[in-house]
Amino acid sequence: MQLTHSENQFERKTFPITLVCDHIYFQQNIGSLFRIGEAFGVENIIFLGKDIPLTPRKINKTSRSTHLHVPHTIIEETTELTAYLIENNFEIIALEIASNSKPLKDLILPENKKLALLIGSEVDGVSDELLKISHQIVHINMFGNNSSMNVVQAASIALYEITS
């Protein structure tokens, strides 16, 4: 028998993870990132860029109101985000296919350190500026002809790996 939301037995938990969204503008993705962030207990979400469309009416369909429960901020400039992550001693992990990326399963999670999981825009991925400050760059092994997947799907896989 399927359980209702109130009957499930999942432990409520928050992890020291900040999901950093590098110039993500598609409203369906933004709403879904709130939903997946809430499901995996992220501490907060940072949206990097100008004019991020956080209109509740537009993102509510995919967020299912989770945007009301996940703390989030917008940082407009990459230099400001970089300074914030470094000053606050985050372990910066970029989710991107790069010449120096390693499989997600090989990610090394330091103990007692806040994590910043960087995910990239729908068009350009994680910027070179952010890749340069990343302590680890990881990718999801894929076995088909396609070399990319939707940012929400990728974030979901990464958050599952990190939190389990």
Q: Are 66 and 32 in contact (CB under 8 A)?
A: no
Summarised one tens digit per residue, pLDDT across range 40-85 is 999 999 999 999 988 877 787 777 778 878 999 999 999 999 999 9
- The per-residue pLDDT for 8 is 67
Which range has the worst mean pLDDT, 26-35, 53-62, 88-97, 101-110? 53-62
pTM here is 0.92
> Domains in the chain, start-ordered, CATH in brackets?
24-139+146-163 (3.40.1280.10)
Distance between CA atoms of residues 160 and 164, nearest Å = 6
Distance between CA atoms of residues 43 and 47, nearest Å = 14
SS3 labels along 82-137: HHHHHHCCCEEEEECCCCCCEEHHHCCCCCCCCEEEEECECCCECCHHHHHHCCEE
CB-CB neighbours of 82 under 10 Å: 17
Summarised one tens digit per residue, pLDDT across range 115-164 is 999 999 988 999 999 999 999 999 999 998 877 889 999 999 999 999 99
Give the CA diameter of the chain. 51
Which range has the worst mean pLDDT, 15-19, 21-25, 57-61, 105-109? 57-61
Backbone angle region of 23, left / alpha / beta, with phi > 0 → left and psi within -120 to 50 → alpha: left
